[in-house]
Amino acid sequence: MDFLSGRGKYALNPIEEEDKLAEKLERKGKRIIRLNRGDPAKYFPTPKYIIDAYKEALQERITGYTAADGSKEMKDAVSERYSRLYGIKLGHDDIIVTQGVSEALMFLNSALINESDSAILFKPYYSLYLPWLKLNGGNAIIENYDESSNWDVHTEGLKRSLKKIGSKKDRIKYMMITNPNNPTGTVLSKSVLKEVVDIANEHGIFLISDEIYDEIVYNNARFTSLSQLAKGMPHAILNGASKVYDSTGFRIGYIIVPEGDRKSQALKERLYNYALMRLSVNSPAQYATVEAIRNTKEHKKAINAMVKEIALRANRATKLLNENPYLQTVKPNGAFYILPRVDLAKLGIKSDREFTDMLLEKEGIQVTRGSGFGASSHFRIVALPPKEILDYAINRINTLCKKQSR
């Protein structure tokens, strides 16, 4: 008799899969530069006004449970934010506060996926989308972001796939997009996003947009929220405090289901039930996030300074990477990730996993293999560290490529 569940084989996170090896190498005295985790708070301190609000929550003894689906104040703040930024009106029942977007993914897949149901994911996809789908017995229909078109959605391929699937579309529970994208750094154009919305609406597919990086946009890109284009059709939005409010450790996320149709109402009720099962989200963190959202003056100063610096770092890193003849990199314009393609054949390397292993063990640089995002022959770099660290890391990447090309 097997003691462990067979589903456990899907419990993987490639972003952190080499952490133990990195720690082992450090114990042996090797310097390790970690470019694998997208943690802005490590390089851009969480703004003081947010820290002060967290302290105030503790001093005021705001340490008990809140409502399972989020405090009234938290929901009010989220509603105010979406009204201010995107002109969307939300009620309390439209918002479920979660312990980060990771829990939101768990809730959504648990609520929607039965054994052998499907979901449409676009690769490269965020590394936790596929595990949560499979843990719930679902299958992925993989579509593509088109690297030759700056990682835009390949809408023609999506249309062909849906036409081929035909009557089996009823088993497709949702379609997931990420905008701005992790791991590519792409911000979808309004026209492409509208085309995706129209396709989902035509085929009756519930559309979900992960928008956790919605204010981290640069290089003249413009972000459009799904909520602005999908009015009147069933959809959901994922967001939170981790990236834009620079507070990853607070673990504050939320799911927005803004419509009142039958599917949306059923989903909201089911999500609420899942929230009841874990009782509450961190109450001081909710309190601090309310202040983070409502203090627009301080937030504007903090986010503008952070995005300006991220743009400088990402653009410089992309330029340096593209000077390497064995790498090809699409310039990002949102979030803080870069996804170079590696010419593995010219380097005599069999896989992107072998490449990232060698980079860590020989050069002391920890990145994430592209295959963890559905993008083999790529690797993901986090462009958050200062210029000196990124320059050093890219120099070590170049060194490995030169050694392997001989």
CA atoms within 13 A on the CB side of 93: 9
Whole-Å CA distances, 70 to 67, 132, 254, 260, 396: 5, 23, 9, 20, 45
Buried/exposed 211-221: b ≥16 CB within 10 Å, e otherwise: bbbbbbbbeee
Alpha-carbon Rg for the chain in angstroms: 21
Instruction: Count the Cβ atoms, other than its own, within 10 Å of residue 274.
Output: 18
> Would you say 335 and 213 are in contact if contact means Cβ atoms under 8 Å apart?
yes
HSE at residue 355, side-chain half, CA atoms within 13 A, is 33
Q: Which parts of 18-170 fold into alpha helices (H)?
A: 19-27, 48-59, 72-86, 100-112, 129-135, 155-165
Joined together, the tokens standing for residue 111 give 């609520």
pLDDT of 387-401, one tens digit each?
A: 999 999 999 999 999
User: What's the rounded Cα separation, in Å, for the pair 14 and 37?
Assistant: 10
Q: Which residues of the chain have pLDDT under 50?
A: none
Q: Which two tokens stand for residue 402?
A: 């030169």
- 40: cis peptide before it, omega within 30°? no
Topology, domain 6-45+299-405: Aspartate Aminotransferase, domain 1 (3.90.1150)
Token pair belonging to 12: 């993987």
Show Cβ contacts of residue 203 under 8 Å, excluding neighbours closer than 6 positions. Answer: 162, 169, 172
Cis peptide before 180 (omega within 30 of 0): yes
Provide the 10 A C-beta neighbour count for residue 232: 8
Distances (CA, A) of 359 to 144, 318, 399: 27, 18, 10
- Provide the pairing of β-strand 118-123 with 172-178: parallel
Cβ density class 285-304: b for 16+ within 10 Å, e for less: bbbbbbbbbbbeeebeebbe
Q: Report d(CA 159, CA 234) in Å as an integer.
A: 19
CA–CA distances in Å: residue 361 to residues 47, 132, 325, 394, 400: 35, 30, 22, 15, 11
CATH 3.90.1150.10 region(s) of the chain? 6-45+299-405
Q: For the sheet containing 337-338, what is the strand order? A: 337-338, 379-382, 368-369
- pLDDT (0 to 100) of residue 167: 63
How does DSSP assign 207-244, residue by residue? EEEE-TTTT-B-TT-----HHHH-TTS-EEEEEESTTT
- Tens-place pLDDT, residues 162-199: 988 876 667 899 999 999 999 999 999 999 999 999 99
Q: For domain 48-295, is the CATH number 3.40.640.10?
A: yes
Nearest-angstrom CA–CA distance, 50 and 27: 35
- Strands 152-153 and 139-146, by their bridges, are antiparallel
Measure CA 349 to chain center: 29
Q: Could you tell me where in the chain the CATH 3.40.640.10 domains are found? A: 48-295
Looking up tokens 């981790």, which residue turns up? 242
Tell me what pLDDT residue 166 has. Answer: 73
